[in-house]
Amino acid sequence: MKFQRHNAIRELVGHSLVSNQDELRRKLRRRGFEVTQATLSRDIHELRLSKGPGGYSLPNGNGIHGAAAAAIDNGPPSVAEMIESFGLRANQAMNQVVVRTAMGGAQPVAAALDREAWPEVVGTVAGDDTVLVICPDPRRAAEVEARLRTILES
């Protein structure tokens, strides 16, 4: 089971020196986990471990396990949430959409848009209360405008 293996990896990396993935593979095998290097590469990525002079280490100091980890992991705010919180209106202009928000709401909205990386959005620029959304062409801008309006009106 992947979850158990992840915990074992955290434990090994936190309490002993692990210099490379093959060493990790051997240590895990002693604990009953038999997987290949490819899987460990993916595990390490998912656990966001980093590799430095002293082998692998946990992501910046916090070695939280199990339940505590899950509690913190409340995904980042979605575009829908941000628009619901801050959005005032959205207007298309050529290949752009201008989104007006409450004061100070532009940055969070733009950040959420960037993170979700909609295919119709090339990029965003945010001020204090205005987000400029750049699309490849007017058609895509219209789609974005429509989608944002749907959220605004819901």
Residue numbers of the site for DNA (CB under 7 A)? 1-2, 5, 19-22, 34-39, 41-42, 44-45, 51
One of 24, 28, 40, 126 touching a second copy (CB under 8 A): 126
Residue 5 interface partner, choices a second copy, DNA, none, CB cut-off 5-8 Å depending on type: DNA
CA dihedral 119, 124, 128, 129 (to 10 degrees): -50
Smallest separation, CB 118 to a second copy (Å):
13
Smallest separation, CB 29 to a second copy (Å):
25
Surface-to-core class of residue 6, CB atoms within 10 Å of its CB (0-12 exposed, 13-18 middle, 19+ buried): middle
Is residue 83 within 8 Å of 147, Cβ to Cβ? no
Order across the sheet with 87-93: list the strands.
Answer: 87-93, 96-101, 130-134, 123-126
Surface-to-core class of residue 77, CB atoms within 10 Å of its CB (0-12 exposed, 13-18 middle, 19+ buried): middle
Smallest separation, CB 9 to DNA (Å):
11
Residue 115 interface partner, choices a second copy, DNA, none, CB cut-off 5-8 Å depending on type: none
Binding site for a second copy (CB under 8 A): 45, 48-53, 57, 59, 91, 93-96, 98-100, 107, 110, 114, 122-132, 134-137
